Amino acid sequence: MFKKLYDLLIFRYPSIFLIIASLFVGFLSYHAKDIQIDASAETLLLEDDEDLRFFRQSYKKYSSSNFLVVTLAPKENLLDNKTLELIKNISKDLEKQDSIKSVDSILTVPLLQSPIRPISDLVAGVDSLSTKEFDKELVKDEFLNSPLYKNALVSSDFKTTALLLNLKDDERYQEFLDKKEQFLKIKEIRALNSLELKEEELLNEEFKAYREFVKNKNSEDIEEIRQILKKYENDATLFLGGVNMIASDAIGFIKSDLLIYGLSLIIIFIFVLWYIFRSFRWVFIILFICFISILSTAGILGLFNWEVTVISSNFVALQLIITMSLVVHLVERYKELYFKYKNANQYKLTVNTVLSKLIPSFFAIITTVVGFSSLILSNIEPVINLGLMMSVGILISLVLTFIYFPIFLLLIGKKEEVLKDKKLISFIPKLPNIVLNHGKKIVFVAFFTILFSFIGSSKIFVENSFINYFKENSEIYKGMKVIDENLGGTTPLDVIIKFKSEDLNSKLEDSFDDFEAEFESSKNDAKYWFTQSKMQTITKVHDYLESIPEIGKVQSLATLLKIGKLLNNNQDLDGITLAVIYNQLPNEYKKLILSPFVNIEASEARVTMRIIDSNPNLRRDELIKKINSDLEEIITNNERTFRLTNLMVLYNNMLQSLFESQIATATTSIFILALMFFILFRNIKMVVIALGTNIVPISLVFGIMGWLEIPLDIMTITIAAIALGIAVDDTIHFIHRFDFEYKKSHGDYSIAVEKSLNSVGYPMYHTTIIVVIGFSIFMLSNLVPTIYFGILTAIVMITVLAANLILLPRLLILLKPYKKEKNI
């Protein structure tokens, strides 16, 4: 049937079919320009996550906005007039930037203890270095010791300070989020009707377009800020930090890697392919088919608006490996037939090459597609997109390979082939002897590998440290390190304490006897809200969080209470005094020291903190669980509840969900693979052999990651999909050839294994050489996860090759899946 189809279409009219296929590829390639890369936080968050909703709600309640941080280490003393003038000039330049609302620095923050004054002065008005002359020794002492500023505004050695760039609120972005939230609430109650579905689809399209605009605008703004800072680099050491900057720089590094390493990869592939095949014809055919396959897939992504995120950015590498494996198998099969039937014409050689490889290639690709399709079961959109991208991409690779390969062979014609370089292939002829005569050693090594992998896998952990995404000598790493170690940490985490209602006991404790009657009817009014009971709870939580080594700067209402105690003759502030401060403090200072930590209307208090992202002992999930558990011991009043929120929680939820979905999809993939293997081989023993061969290299990769303490994060977690995709392809190609040689040798396992190794072993070996050498270039990347990806891909390729060329044939001989009767 396939022969008739090829005869009718491709072999009869190769030139016409080449034009038709090229028009199709050209149409898809045109849309590759529309492909979108998005490394923003929005793409990684779980839309149905209750913690995300809570975070967005709490974000609205408190006077907080997005910000960037500039760290400044001047040549002079921090309080030297030259330094203060420098900070003033930088701030002025930055405030001219469209996206920046204001700049907070040591010049603008209120000085409350220089010198210590009565609490009444605080209400009357507070000055800063920019409005009044101060005793600089007192100012220095305040910055170094004040609960508000120490290890946040200045470093403990007083050599580095921070400029907080408060960004303008994006009201339109918030409107989009509010509308999306409305649709989510409706879907919790009932299904959307047709009109609502159209409205939601339109909203998603508009939001995606606006998010793309915001992403580009953020990149431009960050570049403008860097240009401003560059003007002052001779006067101080300056670094820029912040969540927006991390996303922007990550996109920049990804694009840079695609350009630089993409070109380097092509050059390396050209050299390695030529060295293996000694023919530019084969180099051109292999790389051309890989190129148009990836370009066509990119076109489909652009056509259907599938965004490439940090998780799915490896689709190019994945598709490149699988496509190259397909084409190299065809090239090696053609060369095998060429030397076996030297007098055969090009038509016969092409037909036999294509038809002999069509079935194993089809099943290899379909099995891989099924494996990747299991990712759709995840509830994380980038993971679902990766499954869709890879499923569509490798199907395109299969179709284009079996169209373009025979067309090129027919149009180019029969050419003289070069014999294999014996120095290069000396490994393959030794394999039959190893497999046939060292069976016990192979089984022992396999058993030891599984044991090694099992123990190593038990050590693996899920982490996502942004600072560790970048090399230690990069500017972004240095800047994040300064913020992390000297200025209070990087990743934000909040504790929201909800005070449901005040019980009678707490009222009696608080010494507000004269106001009890009014308190009962106006408990949400400011002057009655600040009770001693509430203050004690907030202070206990604050002090506990400060005691945790992985947590940097902690700020809350307790910060103001500690300062207030110093200003109040070492006496605790009572509720009335706090209420007066709350109502009468100038708004510009209220936003800094009070509003971010209290919301009286909601009867809530907020404790903010930043996590020291570079702490090697940091385990986010364990830390969140520990804080939750300990706070339950601290907050014992049944009328008070608490909840953790902010980016630390959201990213951890995403990671844990990703890990859980990978376990679920891996289990599903193995089950589906077993089913596919059974359909293909119709033999239970063969299914066990094929699965066993595939599980060993996959488990080994995770074992190595565990032993080397390489965390599973949003990049490295996709390595299982790579291992599965490559391993399945090689297994099916080998078993298909073994089946052919087994019948031909009348049921002789040894001969079948030997001939299979000496035929199909070459394309597997050559694909491994090409990919391992090519992907080694990624070890020079600016992104650490890309380096890990290059290393792990090389490990996967080598272990898959060893499993399929040594373990697989040994298992075939050991388990003898075919009965003796299955001859011929």
What mean pLDDT is predicted for residues 74-101?
Answer: 93
| Band of pLDDT at residue 46, cut at 50, 70 and 90 | low
In one letter, which amino acid is 146? S
- SS3 for 43-103, per residue? HHCCCCCHHHHHHHHHHHHCCCCCEEEEEEEECCCCCCHHHHHHHHHHHHHHHCCCCEEEE
Per-residue pLDDT at 511:
44
Nearest Cα residue to 370 out of 21, 713, 732, 688: 732
Segment 449-458 shows an average pLDDT of 91
**pLDDT tens per residue across span 109-141:** 888 888 887 777 666 667 889 888 889 999 999
164 contacts 104 by C-beta, under 8 angstroms: yes
The Cα–Cα gap between 282 and 172 comes to: 54
Of 337 and 713, more confident: 337
pLDDT at 572: 82
Q: Which residue has the higher pLDDT, 702 or 396?
A: 396
Q: Is the pLDDT of residue 824 over 50?
A: no
C-alpha 41/C-alpha 341 separation (Å) is: 59
Q: Is 332 exposed, middle or buried (0-12, 13-18, 19+ CB in 10 A)?
A: buried
Q: Is the pLDDT assigned to residue 288 strictly greater than 70?
A: yes
Amino acid letter at 551? I
What's the CA gap between 168 and 68, in Å, rounded? 11
Report how far residue 260's alpha carbon sits from residue 255's, in angstroms, rounded to the nearest whole number. Answer: 9
Asked if 610 and 553 touch (Cβ cutoff 8 Å), the reply is yes
CB of 545 within 8 A of CB of 554?
A: yes
Token pair of 620 as six digits: 């986010």
For residue 42, the model assigns a pLDDT of 65
Q: Closest Cα partner for 25 from 396, 320, 319?
A: 396
Name residue 551's beta-bridge partners. Answer: 611
Q: What pLDDT shows up at residue 64? A: 65
pLDDT of residue 552: 92
Cα-trace Rg, the chain: 33
Residues 738-743 have a mean pLDDT of 90
Q: What percent of the chain has pLDDT over 90?
A: 27
For residue 188 the two structure tokens come to: 């919790």
Residue 555 confidence (pLDDT): 93
Residue 331 contacts residue 417 (beta carbons within 8 Å): no
Q: Across 305-309, 416-420, 688-692, which has the greatest mean pLDDT? A: 688-692
Residue 78 binned pLDDT confidence (cut-offs 50, 70, 90): very high
Confidence of residue 543 (pLDDT cuts 50, 70, 90): very high
Phi, psi of 166 (to 5 degrees): -80, 120
Is pLDDT of 503 > 60? no
Q: What is the mean pLDDT of the chain?
A: 83
What is the structure's pLDDT at 425? 59
Domain positions in the chain? 420-458+683-824, 483-647
CA distances 662 to 102, 336, 382, 427, 716, Å, are: 44, 40, 13, 36, 12
Which of 79-93, 297-311, 766-780 has the largest mean confidence? 79-93
Render pLDDT for 6-29 as a digit per residue (tens, 0 to 9): 766 777 778 888 898 899 999 998
Kind plus residue range of the DSSP H or E element containing 20 = helix 14-30
Q: What pLDDT is recorded for position 87? A: 95
The string of pLDDT tens digits covering residues 587-606 is 766 777 788 898 888 889 99
Report the distance separating Cα 299 and Cα 320, nearest Å. Answer: 15
The per-residue pLDDT for range 292-331, each reduced to its tens digit, is 999 999 999 888 877 777 667 767 777 888 888 889 989 9
Residue 13: partners with Cβ closer than 8 Å, 6 or more residues away: none
DSSP codes, 466-477: SGGGB-TTSHHH
Task: Give pLDDT, residue 658.
Answer: 74
- 420-458+683-824: CATH topology is Multidrug efflux transporter AcrB transmembrane fold (1.20.1640)
Scored b (16 or more CB within 10 A) or e, 198-212 reads eebeeeeeebbeebe
Tell me if 374 sits within 8 A of 750, measured CB to CB.
no
- Of 53-62, 201-210, 313-322, which range is least confident? 313-322
Residue 588, number of CB atoms within 10 A of its CB: 12
Say which DSSP state 11 is in.
I
**Residue 504 confidence (pLDDT) above 80:** no
Cβ neighbours around 278 below 10 Å, total: 14
**What is residue 153's three-state secondary structure?**
coil
Cα 518 from Cα 503, distance rounded (Å): 15
Cβ proximity of 428 and 765 under 8 Å: yes
Residue 62 contacts by C-beta under 8 Å, 6 or more apart in sequence? Answer: 595, 596, 597, 599, 606
Could you tell me which residue, 238 or 246, shows the higher pLDDT? 238
